[in-house]
A = this chain, B = another copy of it.
Amino acid sequence: MSEVIFLSVGIIAGFLAILVSLYTYKKVQSFDEGSDRMKEVSALIEDGAYSFINIQYKILGVFTAVLAVIIALIFGELGVPIAISYVLGSIASMIAGYVGIVIATKANRRTAAAAASGGLNPAFNVAFKAGSVMGLMIAGIALAGLGLLYILWELLIPGVVAVELWEIVTGFSFGASTVALFAKAGGGIYTKTADLAADIVGKIERHIPEDDPRNPAAIADAVGDNVGDVAGTGADIFDSNVAAILAAAILGAAIDAAFSPAVPFGLLPLLIAGLGTLASVVGVFLVNPRPDEDPGPVLNRGTYITTVLFAVLTVLVLWILNIDLTLAAAAILGLFTGVVIGFTSDVFTNDRGLGPFKPVPEMVESAQKSAANLILSGYSYGLLSAVPSVIMIAVALVGSYTLGIGAASLGLGTEEGGIFAVSIAAVGLLSTNGMIMSSDAYGPIVDNARGVIEQADAGEQAIIDCDKLDASGNTAKAITKGFAIAASAISVLSLFSAFLASAIPLLPPGTTLSVDLAVPSVLAGAFIGSLVPPTFSAILILGVGRNSERMIAEIRRQFANDPGILEGTSKPDYAKCISIATSGAVRELLPGTVIAIVVTILTGAILGLSALAGYLGGAVLVGLIMALLMSNSGGAWDNAKKIIESPESPIPHDAPEYDEVHDNSVLGDMVGDPFKDTAGPSINTLLVVISLTATLFLPVIFALNAAFAGLF
């Protein structure tokens, strides 16, 4: 009975979110598209985005097909179901990304039109509604997808048990994560490639303004914002959410098998995630600014309402179902962790800091000394930004574990209960992702709307309004970035436990898998794992450099071949630039992705399962520091530049030293761009991918290791 309730709440909440998303989508489409010039400008961006999607999804299709065949072949009996789940997970993630790009490109001109005709409030409404299409869609697909897949395989495979079912569903999560890695890291390479190439040839070599339509890379650059910020972040949050629910389900199913409790803990994560999604739907509806209200507080109000509603709902439902409220407490602790880490990212990247601690204003002071001072202070504050976040994760870990150990229905005092509670904290953190992602997607939409207004000459006041909207969007973006890192870190921790739980049936009865760093092979595994995030980051950053070379060559070629482009008499070939940047991005990324998967499998095959767990540990420890360092220092450099460029700049724009200080800040931003938009946020997804690789390929790795050990 409660199995049906748990599944239903999850699936119904999922479909509700999808329906609301589709309804809002139609509503957004009904808004005024603005002047012909606005339509013209944004149609180019829309076409460009589709062209990006086409190229990337073709390559991803081949990648997915190859991997699906491999999976079907090596997994024996469960091969085909896992492969199908994997393909479905990839498709779900692609749909989520697609929806994000479509709505973002459609909303740009409509937000611009609303700003031009109605001012602040109507523009906010359009942009936020469009953002919520993406937010609710990814929350909905995750729930509906996981729930339906579970039912599907339960019906199709006779006699299958819950533990096996979740093993099959791991394929879904793996598919979602590999696609997310391409979306996030590939999109990150793409967007920075376009940005860099457009600036170097346009601004520096040819002295034409930013976003000038004569620049063959202008559209690619505009597409990049949608691709990296909307679709990439959406895919990232989506895959973390799926992974968190899955890991908790695996651990819950293990408890079900061991203790046969009154309720199915394997399905509880779906229920909790469902409640979070319901809260998000309500929260999204309540984001309605009063006339002339500032947009920032409105967004925050939505988040607060969602958070409180989720907490109340969870306590209530668990109390009704007679489940230990300690689990509700764990979920709320997880949510709180996300808030703290998001808040930390904000403090380290906004223009105010917190009380007397003002990282970005101090960086602005460094910029007045030299570019090197600015780089060094940004790097240092980026490192320091890891401190509160990582401590909070440690607290959440120990706190939720302690809560779970005290839960009677989980087998009071057992380790399993504690670890399950950790995984519930991860689910709790991500439960309100529908609302979080809605506020996040809003930012790039406003940003692009501003570009449309500028290019369409739609008036000074509309630009000022968009800047106001953009400012609150930036805070939301900083918070989401921290949130995304926290989410994947804690999801990875529960995946880590899920990996260990999945390994136990493979071991001789009575033994458990310990990840003892005092054992040299485990420590060696941890060392190898510690290399994964640095290597991947280096590949991405160097990839941006190489890819922008290709694009620069193309822009120069177009300018040289057709002098009419610069004179404004003939159109540049935008599509060619987009195609070069897209395929180049995938080309740079593919080796890194394959290496990450192969090294994960090889480490386990050669050094054993404990060492593989150590490998995951090493990767998480280093990855978390690097992700926070790069995301936050990049965000801080960006904002330092914005402060210097703003009318409130501490260095007057007509001061003799302004140009040099501004140059320094531009340099900081250029270094920070691939940090915060390419390498930093991709590490989260990378960590999820290698954790899922270890979990999914566990039987294969186990067999390989046995064969390897047999060689000696």
Out of B379, B418, B535, B544, name the residue touching A520 (CB < 8 Å).
B418
Contact A534 B667 (CB under 8 A): no
Known contacts A517-B517, A518-B613, A670-B370, A629 near B534 by CB under 8 Å: yes
Q: Given A376-B542, A379-B538, A398-B607, 9 other A-B contacts at CB below 8 A?
A: A371-B667, A376-B674, A380-B541, A383-B535, A383-B538, A391-B528, A515-B516, A526-B617, A667-B667
Contact B384 A527 (CB under 8 A): no
Contact A531 B391 (CB under 8 A): yes
Whether, in the assembled complex, A381 has its beta carbon less than 8 Å from a beta carbon of chain B, the answer is yes
Q: How many angstroms from the CA of A625 to the CA of B527 in the assembled complex? A: 9
Contacts of A384 in B (CB 8 A): 534-535, 538
Q: How many angstroms from the CA of A545 to the CA of B365 in the assembled complex? A: 11
9 A-B pairs whose Cβ atoms sit less than 8 Å apart in the complex: A372-B667, A376-B542, A376-B674, A398-B520, A418-B520, A516-B516, A516-B517, A530-B625, A531-B625
- The stretch that binds B, out of A135-143, A493-501, A555-563, is A493-501
How many residues from A make CB contacts under 8 Å with B?
70
Contacts of A515 in B (CB 8 A): 516-518
Whether, in the assembled complex, A283 has its beta carbon less than 8 Å from a beta carbon of chain B, the answer is no
Known contacts A376-B545, A394-B527, A520 near B621 by CB under 8 Å: no
What is the predominant secondary structure among interface residues of chain A facing chain B?
A: helix
Contact residues, A516-573 vs B (CB, 8 A): 516-518, 520-521, 523-528, 530-531, 534-535, 537-538, 541-542, 544-545
How distant is A513 from chain B, measured CB to nearest CB, in Å? 7
Q: How many angstroms from the CA of A373 to the CA of B366 in the assembled complex? A: 20
Q: How many angstroms from the CA of A618 to the CA of B500 in the assembled complex? A: 20
How distant is A550 from chain B, measured CB to nearest CB, in Å? 14
Whether, in the assembled complex, A393 has its beta carbon less than 8 Å from a beta carbon of chain B, the answer is yes
Q: How many angstroms from the CA of A518 to the CA of B493 in the assembled complex? A: 9
Contact B530 A621 (CB under 8 A): yes
Closest B residue by C-beta to A501:
B518
Out of B375, B500, B534, B618, name the residue touching A518 (CB < 8 Å).
B500
Closest B residue by C-beta to A500:
B518
How distant is A373 from chain B, measured CB to nearest CB, in Å? 6
Closest B residue by C-beta to A544:
B376
Contacts of A272 in B (CB 8 A): none
Whether, in the assembled complex, A401 has its beta carbon less than 8 Å from a beta carbon of chain B, the answer is yes
Closest B residue by C-beta to A607:
B398
Contact B397 A527 (CB under 8 A): yes
Q: How many angstroms from the CA of A532 to the CA of B541 in the assembled complex? A: 26
Q: How many angstroms from the CA of A534 to the CA of B627 in the assembled complex? A: 13
Contact A523 B625 (CB under 8 A): no
Whether, in the assembled complex, A325 has its beta carbon less than 8 Å from a beta carbon of chain B, the answer is no
Whether, in the assembled complex, A323 has its beta carbon less than 8 Å from a beta carbon of chain B, the answer is no
Contacts of A527 in B (CB 8 A): 390-391, 393-394, 397, 621, 624
Contact residues, A328-378 vs B (CB, 8 A): 366, 369-373, 375-377
